[in-house]
Amino acid sequence: MTEQTPLDQAHAAMQAAPDDDAARLRFYERLADSEMFLMLSREAEGDQISPELFETPEGRFVLVFDREERLAQFAGRAVPYAGLAGRGIVEMLAGQGIGLGVNLEVASSSALLPAEAVSWLHDTLQNAPDQVEAAIEELLPPAGLPEVLLTALDAKLATAVGLAEGAYLVALRYQGGGQGHLLGFVGAKPEAEGALAKAVSEALTFSGIEAGALDVGFFAAADAMAASLARVGLRFDLPKPQEPKLYQPQIPGSDPDKPPLLK
């Protein structure tokens, strides 16, 4: 049996529950997050690519596949292609009236997404949560947030390798009234703040939760706020980049447990 990919699994869940908006959102999230292989009409020239366009009675489509072998199986011959994140392909197609053919004829997740669906996904991916600016009066442990959101945040932040030291989810009260929840990033790289805020927004959107349900903040590791977050917050660990391993050639005879071979 062919291995089921995350996109296959999300598509199957969506098909099994056609009235479940959350299942449909998770399919679109997997599509945006997955590396997709886009069929081209000719070899790429630098960063310039020309997708193969297919005219159908339903409109114009480009074809993408979540495995290289699936693209090869569909084409039946060697064809040029480019590997891009699904969100990058959606960005490229936005506003052009072009739909997406996903894994056509080669997988259970075969689907035709019309241009309207591509435009919706593009607009959805542009959303961003508010960054907290009001003065905070009190931090409390998080409470009442749905499990689906916590799972989505964990999955999103697991891909943010090296962008921050960590993140803490807390409930809070603002000075002058008001309350809510905050995801506070500690030690985030300044150039990564926009990407992190967008990742949080996508976790909210594709969990079917209003963006206003969660604010985002960024704090230096030395800030008193960082220590307060750590005391009461639910911690999310962001993966650290792997240190490059340098090959150290071993001198024959230098390891007493491995004497050199004699010829």
pLDDT per residue as tens digits for the range 145-168: 888 889 889 988 988 888 999 999
Q: Taking the model in full, what pTM does it have?
A: 0.63
Residues whose CB is less than 8 angstroms from the CB of residue 42 and which lie 6 or more positions away in sequence, other chains included: 50, 80
Query: In CATH, what number does 136-236 get?
Result: 3.30.429
- Residue-wise pLDDT tens digits, 165-198: 999 999 988 777 778 888 999 999 989 988 898 8
Residues whose CB is less than 8 angstroms from the CB of residue 140 and which lie 6 or more positions away in sequence, other chains included: 170, 171, 172, 173, 232
Q: Which residue has the higher pLDDT, 248 or 125?
A: 125
Residue 226 C-beta-side C-alpha neighbours within 13 Å? 14
E strands, 24-120, in order? 35-39, 54-56, 59-65, 81-85, 98-102, 111-113
- Residue-wise pLDDT tens digits, 191-221: 998 889 888 888 888 888 765 678 888 999 9
Asked whether residue 61 carries a pLDDT value surpassing 90, the answer given is: yes
Burial group, residue 2, by CB count within 10 angstroms (0-12, 13-18, 19+): exposed
Which of 15-29, 53-67, 105-119 has the lowest average pLDDT?
Answer: 15-29
Q: Say if domain 6-125 classifies as CATH 3.40.1350.
A: yes
Q: What is the spatial distance between Cα 142 and Cα 260, in angstroms, rounded to a whole number?
A: 61
- Domain range list for the chain: 6-125, 136-236
